[in-house]
């Protein structure tokens, strides 16, 4: 591991990380990085954008579909520069090994997992290469079963004090289908072009919900409540990318055009049976239909060339998005809604980097313009339509001091609320809780300062962030006529300050490759309390991981990983107990790596339970989340496997992620 420019670079090729498994497994072994189900978080930064050979990852399943033995190196950028959208918190750049040979090749992965029930998936990748022509594709299918069991205490402080003690059990599953086809042509070493199409379909995504509750008013039992029902959420996404990458003299040109079309439906049917004390059993049925539709068109151009013994890059991006939300409640308990948000976003950036002796300097600036029009029932609502113009500077300095690499960087960025947060419709949770978005939300402005240092197998990062107009989920009274009903929504509240620190040791001792990582979070964040006061949530949190890899005889690889998280505060939540986990993996390869088997056991002692409280004004939510161990067996087979030369990087990624 080393620092190079703006990135923490890990060379995977030739290391034990080649045998990690999937892309998720690989990234989870990097210091300060966690990856699960395609969601990658960098400690101190947040959710990361993933680029594979310069192409933006389009859906979460791509990391699961990537094999670690195809990866050459991984670069983790904690303070992305001006060429990235200002909403990007962190960037992970994955570079695969250079393709060898021509002709037809394929590889297949079959996985079965026991997690509450049996889960299976199969993925088939193929590639054909001849001269400068490259054709590749993928077929993927999965069948997933899962459960979500928890207990919760919901306290609401309104005209009376309401306390709801609930036991919640949900069972669910999904069927997923994904396909990909890409064409690439390398005209010569200076020019290439290509196109890629992705299709993702979830024909079945279902949950069966059971909840038993006791409701207390001012400490006395008020009623008993049983809720039963189901939810179905089918979804479909089409996405298309075309690119051109070329070199004309000293000028490098990178152009991308993207389109995405998606929709999802949520159908819900809930029946509540409740018995107020001293009264007969009563019943209420609530059915709802919600549909989200998204359209995106985007184009991005980046031009770079050498200048004054350095490198100059500049470019721009344009994105048009159309998001429509339809909500229908058959019983009329909540109002129906038909809203539409149409946005035009344009940006331009300029970056320059140069070395002054051993010192490498990088500066940049980014301008972003966003015009958002909000429609209710096809009528423009001016007070909920917004226009934003922002300028974000960046800089980075890196310097070797002996065998130590040092890097200091600053980034100005923004967090724009998701379309879900901006929705105007009110959804039904239960008789005492409704949920809504807030079309009047403002973006949060974020400033980040980061210091990195590396020496041989030791890595250190310290980071400070300041967030203005942080967004928080709070509870309030639904209406004066029904003061016992809580309405949860999103609001811009107080500023927050956070300090993060990461220290990692990764030596190699014979057949043993350990990695010990310590992570620390300290925040200063004001939180509204039920009694009307404000409290500074500043209790620190710690996280520790100890990963061990052993290269055993007969080409066996054994991983034993342990992790522990301490109690503490994070934003408006307080974690109340220690959580820890022990994971084990055993891998065996056959026939010169053409066939491999991997057995994994995750959270072997069911010790990853999460217990914490979320403070939301006059509402407290305390959750005790069940943890469950699971086991996975993965079989991979490769025949003349080659890697696609596709070089598209994608456009409109910030708007895509908001959808």
pLDDT digits (tens, 9 = 90+) for 587-639: 998 888 789 999 999 999 988 877 889 888 888 889 988 888 999 999 989 88
What CA–CA distance (Å, rounded) separates 323 from 292? 7
Q: What is the pLDDT of residue 504?
A: 93
Residue pair 185/192 in contact by the 8 Å Cβ criterion = yes
375, β-bridge pairs:
340, 380
* Higher local confidence (pLDDT), 83 or 464: 464
Biggest CA–CA distance in the chain, Å, is 86
Helix (H, G, I), strand (E, B) or coil at 658: helix
- Beta carbons within 8 Å of 553's beta carbon, 6+ residues apart: none
Mean pLDDT of 255-283: 91
What burial class does residue 187 get, using C-beta atoms within 10 Å of its C-beta: 0-12 exposed, 13-18 middle, 19+ buried?
A: exposed
What CA–CA distance (Å, rounded) separates 626 from 146? 12
What burial class does residue 89 get, using C-beta atoms within 10 Å of its C-beta: 0-12 exposed, 13-18 middle, 19+ buried?
A: buried
Q: What is the DSSP pairing of strand 486-492 with strand 433-436? A: parallel
Helix (H, G, I), strand (E, B) or coil at 84: coil
Residue pair 617/530 in contact by the 8 Å Cβ criterion = yes
Looking at every residue in the chain, the average pLDDT score rounds to 88
Q: What is the pLDDT of residue 650?
A: 57
Q: What is the pLDDT of residue 53?
A: 79
* pLDDT at residue 473 greater than cutoff 90: no
What CA–CA distance (Å, rounded) separates 108 from 398? 42
Ramachandran area for residue 26 (φ above 0: left; ψ -120 to 50: alpha; else beta): alpha
Q: What is the pLDDT of residue 608?
A: 83
* pLDDT at residue 477 greater than cutoff 80: no
Mean pLDDT of 555-560: 92
Q: What is the pLDDT of residue 347?
A: 96
pTM of the model: 0.82
Residue pair 616/157 in contact by the 8 Å Cβ criterion = no
Q: What is the pLDDT of residue 159?
A: 77
Phi first, then psi, for residue 61 (nearest 5°) are -75, -15
Mean pLDDT of 377-403: 90
What CA–CA distance (Å, rounded) separates 182 from 62? 14
The domain ranges of the chain are: 136-658
594, β-bridge pairs:
none
Residue pair 651/300 in contact by the 8 Å Cβ criterion = yes
Neighbour tally for 271: CB within 10 Å: 14
What CA–CA distance (Å, rounded) separates 289 from 24? 34
* pLDDT at residue 99 greater than cutoff 70: no
* Higher local confidence (pLDDT), 347 or 279: 347
* pLDDT at residue 404 greater than cutoff 80: yes
CATH for 136-658, options being 1.10.150, 2.40.170, 2.60.120, 2.30.29:
2.40.170
To which residue do tokens 């990748």 refer? 125
Residue pair 185/240 in contact by the 8 Å Cβ criterion = no
């Amino acid at each position: 591991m080393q620092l190079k420019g703006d990135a923490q670079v890990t060379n995977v090729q030739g290391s034990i990380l080649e045998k990690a498994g999937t892309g998720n497994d690989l990234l989870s072994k990097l210091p300060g990085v966690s990856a699960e189900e395609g969601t990658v978080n960098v400690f101190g930064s947040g959710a990361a954008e993933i680029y594979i050979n310069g192409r933006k990852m389009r859906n979460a399943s791509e990391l699961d579909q990537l094999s670690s033995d195809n990866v050459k190196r991984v670069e983790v950028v904690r303070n992305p520069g001006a060429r990235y959208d200002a909403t990007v918190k962190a960037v992970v750049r994955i570079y695969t090994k250079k393709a060898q040979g021509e002709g037809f090749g394929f590889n297949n992965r079959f996985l079965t997992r026991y997690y509450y029930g049996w889960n299976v998936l199969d993925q088939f990748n193929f590639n054909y290469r001849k001269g400068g022509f490259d054709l590749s594709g993928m077929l993927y299918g999965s069948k997933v079963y899962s459960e979500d069991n928890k207990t919760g205490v919901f306290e609401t402080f309104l005209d009376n004090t309401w306390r709801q003690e609930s036991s919640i059990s949900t069972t669910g599953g999904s069927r997923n289908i994904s396909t990909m086809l890409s064409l690439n042509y390398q005209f010569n070493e200076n020019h290439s072009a290509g196109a890629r199409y992705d299709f993702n379909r979830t024909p079945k995504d279902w949950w069966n919900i059971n909840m038993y509750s006791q409701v207390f008013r001012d400490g006395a039992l008020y009623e008993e409540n049983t809720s039963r029902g189901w939810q179905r959420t089918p979804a479909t996404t089409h996405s298309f990318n075309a690119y051109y990458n070329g070199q004309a003299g000293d000028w490098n040109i990178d152009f991308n055009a993207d389109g995405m079309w998606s929709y999802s439906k949520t159908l819900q049917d809930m029946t509540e049976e409740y018995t107020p004390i001293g009264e007969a059993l009563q019943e209420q049925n609530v059915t709802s239909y919600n549909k989200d539709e998204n359209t995106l068109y985007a184009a991005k151009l980046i031009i770079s060339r050498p200048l004054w013994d350095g490198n100059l890059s500049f470019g721009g991006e344009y994105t048009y998005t159309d998001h429509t939300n339809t909500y229908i409640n058959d019983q009329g308990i909540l109002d129906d809604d038909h809203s539409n948000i149409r946005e035009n976003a344009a940006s331009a950036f300029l970056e320059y980097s140069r070395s002054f002796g051993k010192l490498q300097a990088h500066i940049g600036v980014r301008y972003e313009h966003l015009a958002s029009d909000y429609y209710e029932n096809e009528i423009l609502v001016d007070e909920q339509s917004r226009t934003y113009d922002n300028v974000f500077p960046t800089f980075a300095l890196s310097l070797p001091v002996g065998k130590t690499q040092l890097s200091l960087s600053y980034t100005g960025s923004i967090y724009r609320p998701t379309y879900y947060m901006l929705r105007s419709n009110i959804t039904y949770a239960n008789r005492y809780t409704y949920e809504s978005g807030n079309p009047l939300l403002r973006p949060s402005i974020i400033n980040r300062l980061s210091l990195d240092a590396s020496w041989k197998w030791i890595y250190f990062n310290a980071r400070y962030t300041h967030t203005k107009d942080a967004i928080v989920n709070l509870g309030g009274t639904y209406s004066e006529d029904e003061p016992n009903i809580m309405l949860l929504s999103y609001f811009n509240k107080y500023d927050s300050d956070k300090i993060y620190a990461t220290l990692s040791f990764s030596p190699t001792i014979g057949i043993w490759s350990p990695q010990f990582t310590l992570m620390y979070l300290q925040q200063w964040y004001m939180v509204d309390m039920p009694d009307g006061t404000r409290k500074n949530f500043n209790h620190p949190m710690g996280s520790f991981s100890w990963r061990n890899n052993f290269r055993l005889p007969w080409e066996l690889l054994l991983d034993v990983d342990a992790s522990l998280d301490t109690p503490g505060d994070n934003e408006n939540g307080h974690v109340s107990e220690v959580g820890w986990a022990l994971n084990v993996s055993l891998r065996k390869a056959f026939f010169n790596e053409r066939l491999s088997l991997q057995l994994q056991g995750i959270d072997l002692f069911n010790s990853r339970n999460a217990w914490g409280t979320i403070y939301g004004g006059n509402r407290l939510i305390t959750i005790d989340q069940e943890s469950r161990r699971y086991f996975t067996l993965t079989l991979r087979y490769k025949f003349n496997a080659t890697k696609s030369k596709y070089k598209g990087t994608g456009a409109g990624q910030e708007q895509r992620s908001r959808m």
